[in-house]
Amino acid sequence: MGFTKVNKVILACSFFTLFSPMISLASDNNVLKVGVRAIFGIAEAEKQWSKTIDVLNRQIKTHRFKLEPILGFQEMRIAVESKKIDFILTNPLAYTELSKQSGITRLLTLNKKQPNGIASTEFSSAIFTRSDRDDINYLKDAKNKSIIGVHQEAFGGWRMALREFIHNDIDIHKYASKVIYTSDNTHNSVINAVLNGNADIGVVRTGIIELLAAQGKIKLTDIKVLNLQKDSLPALHSTQLYPEWPFAVMPHISSEISGKVFHSLLSIKPTSAAAISGKYFNWTAPLDYSEVYSLVDELSHQDITFVKIWNKHWIIMMLILAFASLIIFYTIYLFSINKKLTLSQKELNQHRHHLKEIVDKKTAELYIEKAAAEKANKAKSEFLSSMSHELRTPLSAILGFSQLIKLQEPKNKRISLNVDEIMSAGDYLLSLINEILDLAKIESGTIDFELEKVSCNDVLQTSLNIVAPLMESNNISFNITSPDECFVTADYKRLQQTFINLLSNAIKYNKQNGHIDIDIELEQQNQQCKLRFKDYGVGIKPEFYDKVFLPFARDKEKSELIEGTGVGLVITKNIIEHMQGEIGFNSEYGKGSEFWVTLPTAMP
């Protein structure tokens, strides 16, 4: 029996009814959703981006693309975490956060059309007020004024401006009388709030003011932009430039589909319907968003302050500082005893050739003093050795906390200065401790020297590299005269330590914009190498010559102006003499000083 038309219709309807759920399921698997941040509302987002989605649907036949306008930041996060969208078009701030949390990857960067028709892949933030507000002309005028932003996480509509305030030493949350945000997360509401007098200052992304003016909704003459920037961006703006919105892809999308989307968007021309309705010029290769990551890191740590750390750990910090001070004072006391030992030995040498009865009597007295001093010196060395770890550990903690605070760039300038003072004092204290411990080890003979064949030229060059920042900060130049390469028998590390110390002194005691002459001479007749370090600074007073190589002996006039411990040259002299060398100096007060070092040349 043949099928009538009615039978065919009934059969077709039955087939469609039976298999339509399967067809629908297969269709849903081919749908790719593009989540778009709707800064002007959902209706405006659909109008702006629907033709761009049409381009994807025309050029990529294997899938169907669907526009998903998303109004708020939280909704965008939820959509990404639940994988309800496959591609994302949002502001750079939201992109950096989502890339860290969910691993989305940027494909392209928007090349947006500016109000004057020029395209730009960067944008900024405009901080503005009404033009008739004569009391508001600079960022600092925000004091005791109300300020409104799109949302506390809006990029162009708040976060860029927040960073700009911080870079101008303004904590806007304390500086302003009130910080408010729009209820609908739109830039239009910010403009209206300022023009209607509901807020004194507003923050919007670049182009919004000009766009509303072009639409006849506001007049440019009613707006005054603060901290106006003059750069490559042809729009009213108040902050540095950041890359435009990225078009990003979720991690679960294959590279094949991502590549098709990349080429489809890249093919959009400035004159196409998609570009015109989307208010952009075209799409470009993805830009570097590192500056956006820097903004996120900077703003995320702005609440960490020195005051909070001090309030939480002040007892521990005070104990550490008190303990370190006690150790330093005790160490100085022990060195004063050691100084007495040195003077006693000198006095013993002066009376050695006297009459036997007088010599024997005096020698007995001096040996008693020497024994007491040696006992104290031994106690000093043992104490310093046992306490070095306990001393450095808390000091390292202080420096570590200070460096952490400094890296976070505290918003309060006073706190930043306090941190700098703590770091400077801590570094000075650590340097003093290290030098005192080195001197104690050298004098007690507990330090080991690994003598080997060493090139003075190589050690000098390495030392110059280390002190280069100090030279640069003092604008000091140098010149090296070295006819031949000179090899000596020395400990490489300790020789470098002496060179660094002599170079540091030549820099610190030099005049501003000064010069250092360095000469390396091979004295073959004496089988030694001689190095000279000459500066053209203040020089040394003749009455201070005998104290140059004594520990803690410093010229009072210089010590008030130039940082130092007074043990560096003592350590240098001991190291040179342990390596069978000599050290000395020539100086003319007011014209500079020349320190020289001689070391035995190495055997071939």
Reported as a single tens digit per residue, the pLDDT across 337-390 is: 888 888 877 777 777 776 677 767 777 777 788 777 666 666 666 665 565 556
Structure tokens at 54: 């049409």
**549 pLDDT above the threshold of 90:** no
Per-domain residue ranges of the chain: 5-117+244-299, 122-243, 306-444, 452-600
Question: H-helix or E-strand containing 32?
Answer: strand 31-37
Kindly write down the DSSP assignment for every residue of 44-89, as one continuous string.
HHHHHHHHHHHHHHHH-TTSEEEEEEE-SHHHHHHHHHTT--SEEE
| Most distant pair of Cα atoms in the chain: their distance | 152
Categorize the per-residue pLDDT at 246 as very low, low, confident or very high, splitting at 50, 70 and 90: very high
For 75-82, the CB contacts below 8 A with 24+ separation are 76/35, 76/37, 77/101, 79/35, 80/35, 80/104, 80/250
> Which pLDDT value is given to residue 25?
37
| Three-class DSSP category at 599 | strand
What is the residue-averaged pLDDT of the chain? 84
Query: How far apart, in whole angstroms, are the C-alpha atoms of residue 252 and residue 86?
Result: 8
- Is the CATH code 2.40.110.10 the one for domain 5-117+244-299? no
Measured in whole angstroms, the distance separating CA 530 from the mean position of its chain's CA atoms is: 42
Categorize the per-residue pLDDT at 20 as very low, low, confident or very high, splitting at 50, 70 and 90: very low
The alpha helices in 82-206, defined as continuous H runs, are: 92-102, 160-167, 172-175, 187-195
> Which pLDDT value is given to residue 512?
83
Cβ atoms of residues 69 and 42 within 8 Å: yes
Categorize the per-residue pLDDT at 252 as very low, low, confident or very high, splitting at 50, 70 and 90: very high
Comparing 122-243 with 452-600, is the CATH topology the same?
A: no
Side chain identity at 61, as an amino acid letter? Answer: K
How many residues are listed for the chain in this entry?
Answer: 604
**54 pLDDT above the threshold of 80:** yes
Q: How many CB atoms within 10 Å of residue 548?
A: 19
Closest CA to 549 of 418, 458, 442, 470: 442
> Which pLDDT value is given to residue 116?
63
The alpha helices in 197-272, defined as continuous H runs, are: 208-214, 255-266
Residue 555 to residues 433, 513, 565, Cα–Cα distance (Å) = 21, 23, 11
Closest CA to 438 of 500, 487, 396: 500
- pLDDT top residue among 306 and 406: 406
Structure tokens at 239: 């902050």
> What is the DSSP pairing of strand 64-70 with strand 119-120?
unpaired
Cβ-proximal residues to 31 (8 Å cutoff; 6+ apart), any chain: 63, 64, 65, 66
Cβ atoms of residues 241 and 124 within 8 Å: yes
> Which pLDDT value is given to residue 275?
94
For 387-392, the CB contacts below 8 A with 24+ separation are 387/327, 388/433, 388/437, 391/323, 391/324, 391/327, 391/433, 392/430, 392/433
Structure tokens at 318: 């005070």
* CATH assignment, 452-600: 3.30.565.10
Mean pLDDT score, 53-68: 95
> Which pLDDT value is given to residue 26?
39
Residue 350 to residues 336, 343, 347, Cα–Cα distance (Å) = 21, 11, 5
Strand-pairing partners, residue 534, are 517, 594
**458 pLDDT above the threshold of 50:** yes
**298 pLDDT above the threshold of 90:** no
Side chain identity at 192, as an amino acid letter? Answer: N
Strand-pairing partners, residue 119, are 113
Say what angle helices 92-102 and 290-300 make with each other, to 10 degrees. 80
Residue 318 to residues 325, 404, 424, Cα–Cα distance (Å) = 10, 18, 17
Question: H-helix or E-strand containing 394?
Answer: helix 356-407
**242 pLDDT above the threshold of 90:** yes
Say which DSSP state 293 is in. Answer: H
Say which DSSP state 234 is in. Answer: -
Percent of residues, the chain, with pLDDT higher than 90: 48
Query: How far apart, in whole angstroms, are the C-alpha atoms of residue 144 and residue 137?
Result: 14
Mean pLDDT score, 169-189: 92
Residue 291 to residues 152, 187, 296, Cα–Cα distance (Å) = 19, 23, 9
- Domain 122-243, CATH class in plain words: alpha beta
Please tell me the least confidently modeled range out of 1-5, 89-93, 165-169, 448-452. 1-5
Please tell me the least confidently modeled range out of 37-41, 158-162, 341-345, 397-401. 397-401
Categorize the per-residue pLDDT at 11 as very low, low, confident or very high, splitting at 50, 70 and 90: very low
**16 pLDDT above the threshold of 70:** no
Please tell me the least confidently modeled range out of 299-308, 312-321, 570-579. 299-308
**585 pLDDT above the threshold of 90:** yes
Residue 298 to residues 74, 141, 294, 304, Cα–Cα distance (Å) = 21, 24, 6, 11
Mean pLDDT score, 414-443: 67
Query: How far apart, in whole angstroms, are the C-alpha atoms of residue 466 and residue 99?
Result: 39
**439 pLDDT above the threshold of 50:** yes
Say what angle helices 290-300 and 160-167 make with each other, to 10 degrees. 70
Categorize the per-residue pLDDT at 23 as very low, low, confident or very high, splitting at 50, 70 and 90: very low
| Three-class DSSP category at 515 | strand
Mean pLDDT score, 273-284: 93
> Which pLDDT value is given to residue 555?
65
Say which DSSP state 451 is in. Answer: -
> Which pLDDT value is given to residue 19?
43
Side chain identity at 572, as an amino acid letter? Answer: T
Mean pLDDT score, 430-454: 71
